[in-house]
Chains A and B, each alone.
Chain A
């Protein structure tokens, strides 16, 4: 009986741990997507607005 409860909490524990790591990874992935999108948007904007900047920088 005691062992069953123990096992249940053991399962909870590992699940919680991995869930947190997984949530962090998901956060990273979604943020990465957002950042990449923003980068391409800005790059195209800069190329439209002032192509001459490229060689100056």
Chain B
């Protein structure tokens, strides 16, 4: 069964189509790097997958459930641009709250375990406000992994993280993959993404123009994918000028 099956998804903002019939299929257990330039529609697609936004047209199923349904929300973990934790709650309070919302059986226990995982046990009762940037980011990572999601949606996960948080995230992602979870992450930094990615999809102007396994060419030359499958129009333009 597919982890993500998005069929011809359109999303209009007013009259402007941010997604123009994007089709994406991701196997279970895969780690998909969703590439594309700024404005290509990566965030829009991820927000729709996370149930934060409804597609104008098109069908999306996640793990066999329709996107945005209660069941799919429960099995999906989402880490967006913002860290999504409350500054005025302690680390534990934050995670217990989200544990309750996510329907985790024993929120307190899950919270303690998650804090252990990201190395914040020592400061578990400190307010998130008092944390350093990196600690806050690790707390956010703990929040996204709290309910052991089967599908992880990460929007530009590496851009704002510090080194330690990146290390924590990569360990957790590798662990999740071993567990059989699926990961979809958007990024425009190909090098970092390629370390984990098993699959690659390229989003151009609201359409998936390439989707397939990661290959040696991509690893060797980050620009290769864009040049081969990227926007033909943009190529023409540069050729003209």
Contact = CB atoms under 8 A, between A and B. Distances in A.
Interface of A: 50, 52-53, 56-57
Contacts of A50: 233, 237
B236 interface: yes
A50 B236 CA distance: 11
B205 interface: yes
A5 B205 CA distance: 69
Nearest to B16: A57
A52 B237 contact: yes
Q: Which 9 A-B pairs have the closest CB atoms?
A: A52-B233, A56-B233, A52-B236, A52-B237, A56-B205, A50-B237, A53-B233, A50-B233, A57-B17
Contacts of B233: 50, 52-53, 56
A30 to B, nearest CB: 23
Interface of B: 17, 205, 233, 236-237
Contacts of A57: 17
Contacts of B205: 56
9 contacts: A50-B233, A50-B237, A52-B233, A52-B236, A52-B237, A53-B233, A56-B205, A56-B233, A57-B17
A3 B178 CA distance: 94
Which of A50, A53, A56 has the most chain B CB within a 10 Å cutoff? A56
Nearest to B237: A52
A50 B233 CA distance: 9
A52 B205 CA distance: 13
Which of B205, B233, B236 has the most chain A CB within a 10 Å cutoff? B233
Contacts of B237: 50, 52
Contacts of B17: 57
A54 to B, nearest CB: 10
Contacts of A52: 233, 236-237
A46 to B, nearest CB: 12
Nearest to A57: B17
B209 to A, nearest CB: 12
A53 B234 CA distance: 10
A48 to B, nearest CB: 12
A16 to B, nearest CB: 37
A17 B185 CA distance: 61
A52 B238 CA distance: 12
B33 to A, nearest CB: 25
